[in-house]
Amino acid sequence: MKHPEQLGKYPITGVIGEGAMGVVYKAFDPVIQRPVAIKTIRKHLVGEDLSGSSTADRFRNEAQAVGRMSHPNIVPIYEYGEDDDTAFIAMEYVEGRTLSKILAATPRLPEVDILKLMDQLLDALDCAHRHGVWHRDIKPANLMVTTAGQLKVTDFGIARIESQVLTQMTSTIGTPGYMAPEQYVGESVDHRVDVFAAGVLLYGMLVGQSPFRGSPEAVMYKVMNDEPVAPSRIDIAPRPAFYDGIVARAMAKKPQDRFASAALFRQALAKRVLPVTDDESETTIIMAPPRAAAPPSADPHAPTVVMSAGSARTTTPLTGWDPQTLARVELALASFVGPVAKVLVRNAARFSTDLPSLAAKVCEHLGSDADRARFTAKLGATGTQALQHPANPSLPTGHHALTDEMVTQSRKVLTSHLGPIAGVLVKKALAKAQSQEQFIALLAENAAAGKEREKLIEALKRG
């Protein structure tokens, strides 16, 4: 088919996916000066009076649902428009992988990755629910993960908007295996269908496979009647019993037995304290770049092909924290919780990007408002600042201070040479290096002497 040169104000720069109903384009916003994704549908379909959940219904519904929200873990929609015979939605364009692709390569993610992803997902769902929007199709294919580890929720095409009377949007739509029991039987639904789906997702990442598998009929029977084996009781590599009660509650058959909100689900997971060792990697899977580019989807109504990236907010942070800053936080906390302070602070730092967010997460482990106030006051008295890679004023002449950009690029380069262990090696080098030159030298020591090391040094210098 012939593709347009422009849709609305957006010049088309490429085709991302194409199908019978429309096309997903890569385009450029000339006003804001940024790339965008343009999801299109044939205009005559938008005007059709179809019963049931038509593509046109979903298209309009997605624009209305996402337009109500602004959250760093939800792909934003910039504009709904019509041009000639095409209706379109302009949305954020980012390069990333769907969680389904990540899980296809690594069915059982490291626990730290699971907690990061769930923390972001549940925060996004809490935002959506507070705006009266229920996604109703949470699954790995509708979740994008950037190379920085940021999760993005996509495809609100069958979302339920609480204030609307969507007579054409029945409750019996969704993806088998992720649909809650009430969706299968056509009962009224609320935001807790998303809690159920998030529980299914959590179980799948913990165990390495979905709790409900088989034909659509078999899946429906299992969702309605079976209780999945607890993650701590699986035969191979069982997970900590901490998760058993959480997944059981999230996937409860009756909505009233589930977490009452995504926020409460998130709080339950936040209580998990991971064991910390010096060699522990922050993120070895979700931040690893794909080894080969996947072919674009032929379905333009699966925006997961193009979504993700580009937000300034990330949730990756052990690497980049000033060790002295963390030590001061640990010292302030130790007077309240004792030796476990180091573990709690290191765990909280993985989900924090600055000192206020770190302090807020640490405060969750204090039992009273008075203790939280005293901890905050004590932390302020230390003069602690959330510095990431501070420039060293005493650098020798000719040496250059480390920057966040260089650290990020070096991680990518080292990963391509040495694999997932790169995250650990970068963290160790950061703790010792006071300049770019020293940082590169420390990283290069991990390669065999000779041509291999020289090749790595050149790649690190190029970035």
Claim to verify: residue 192 and residue 327 sit in the same structural domain: no
Report yes or no: 149 and 286 within 8 Å, Cβ to Cβ.
Answer: yes
Tokens coding 73: 């873990």
pLDDT above 90 (res 317): no
| Sign, CA torsion 278/282/285/288 | negative
Strand partners, 77: 91
The residue annotated as part of the active site, out of 119, 137, 194, 322, is 137
Claim to verify: residue 442 and residue 347 sit in the same structural domain: no
Does the active-site annotation cover 137?
Answer: yes
Q: Helix or strand or coil: residue 377?
A: helix
pLDDT one-digit tens code per residue, 330-360: 888 877 776 677 878 888 887 777 788 888 8
Tallying the residues shown for the chain, one arrives at 463
Q: Which of 92, 108, 136 is the C-terminal boundary of a domain?
A: 92
Q: Kindly give, in sequence order, each residue whose CB lies less than 8 Å from that of residue 110, ignoring residues fewer than 6 positions away.
A: 281, 283, 284, 285
DSSP string, 33-75: TEEEEEEEEEHHHHT---SSS-HHHHHHHHHHHHTT---TTBP
pLDDT one-digit tens code per residue, 149-183: 889 998 776 556 554 443 334 445 678 999 999 98
Tell whether 418 is covered by a domain: yes
- pLDDT the model gives residue 406: 84
Claim to verify: residue 110 and residue 252 sit in the same structural domain: yes
Instruction: Give the CATH number, domain containing residue 286.
Output: 1.10.510.10
Claim to verify: residue 75 and residue 206 sit in the same structural domain: no
- pLDDT the model gives residue 44: 60
DSSP letter assigned to residue 26 = E
End-to-end CA distance of the chain: 40
Tell whether 243 is covered by a domain: yes
Q: Kindly give, in sequence order, each residue whose CB lies less than 8 Å from that of residue 87, ignoring residues fewer than 6 positions away.
A: 40, 41, 42, 43, 46, 59, 80, 81
Claim to verify: residue 206 and residue 237 sit in the same structural domain: yes
**Domain of residue 268, residue span:** 97-294
Closest CA to 196 of 135, 128, 124: 135
Tell whether 432 is covered by a domain: yes
Claim to verify: residue 210 and residue 229 sit in the same structural domain: yes
Task: Say which range, 16-25, 38-47, 403-412, has the weakest mean pLDDT.
Answer: 38-47
CA-CA distance, 22 to 156, in Å (whole number)? Answer: 17
Tell whether 167 is covered by a domain: yes
Q: Kindly give, in sequence order, each residue whose CB lies less than 8 Å from that of residue 398, ignoring residues fewer than 6 positions away.
A: none
How far is CA 89 from each of CA 13, 122, 304, 332, 459, rounded to the nearest angstrom?
A: 16, 25, 14, 49, 40
pLDDT one-digit tens code per residue, 93-148: 877 888 999 999 989 999 989 999 999 999 999 999 998 888 888 999 889 888 78
Claim to verify: residue 237 and residue 276 sit in the same structural domain: yes
Q: Helix or strand or coil: residue 29?
A: strand
pLDDT above 90 (res 80): no
Q: Helix or strand or coil: residue 237?
A: coil
Tokens coding 204: 């799948």
How far is CA 178 from each of CA 27, 133, 200, 348, rounded to the nearest angstrom?
A: 33, 18, 6, 30
Claim to verify: residue 84 and residue 211 sit in the same structural domain: no
- pLDDT the model gives residue 157: 61
Tell whether 299 is covered by a domain: no
Tell whether 398 is covered by a domain: no
pLDDT above 60 (res 85): yes
How far is CA 380 from each of CA 142, 356, 400, rounded to the nearest angstrom?
A: 41, 11, 31
For residue 57, how many C-alpha atoms fall within 13 Å in the half-sphere facing its CB? 18
Q: Kindly give, in sequence order, each residue whose CB lies less than 8 Å from that of residue 253, ignoring residues fewer than 6 positions away.
A: 181, 224
Q: Report angle CA 243, 248, 252 to the nearest 5 degrees.
A: 155
Q: Which residue has the higher pLDDT, 257 or 378?
A: 257
How far is CA 197 from each of CA 185, 327, 448, rounded to the nearest angstrom?
A: 16, 39, 47
pLDDT above 60 (res 414): yes
pLDDT above 80 (res 31): yes
Tell whether 310 is covered by a domain: no
> Of the segments 54-68, 135-149, 275-289, which one has the largest average pLDDT value?
135-149
Task: Say which range, 97-111, 235-249, 402-416, has the weakest mean pLDDT.
Answer: 402-416
Q: Which of 57, 92, 127 is the C-terminal boundary of a domain?
A: 92
Closest CA to 438 of 417, 460, 459: 460
Claim to verify: residue 81 and residue 110 sit in the same structural domain: no
Claim to verify: residue 156 and residue 237 sit in the same structural domain: yes
Q: Alpha helices of 136-282 — where are they, by DSSP H?
A: 181-184, 192-207, 216-225, 242-250, 262-270
Residue 459's pLDDT band (boundaries 50, 70, 90)?
confident
Task: Say which range, 85-89, 99-103, 137-141, 283-287, has the weakest mean pLDDT.
Answer: 283-287
- Total domain count, the chain: 4
Report yes or no: 45 and 31 within 8 Å, Cβ to Cβ.
Answer: no
Closest CA to 358 of 334, 330, 382, 336: 330
Claim to verify: residue 110 and residue 130 sit in the same structural domain: yes
- pLDDT the model gives residue 114: 94
- pLDDT the model gives residue 58: 65
Instruction: Give the CATH number, domain containing residue 71.
Output: 3.30.200.20
Q: Mean pLDDT across the chain, nearest whole number?
A: 77
Mean pLDDT computed over 224-231:
95
Claim to verify: residue 167 and residue 218 sit in the same structural domain: yes
Tell whether 41 is covered by a domain: yes
Q: Which of 349, 381, 413 is the C-terminal boundary of a domain?
A: 381
Task: Say which range, 105-114, 130-139, 271-280, 283-292, has the weakest mean pLDDT.
Answer: 283-292
Q: Alpha helices of 212-321 — where are they, by DSSP H?
A: 216-225, 242-250, 262-270
> Of the segments 2-11, 148-157, 237-246, 411-420, which one has the largest average pLDDT value?
237-246
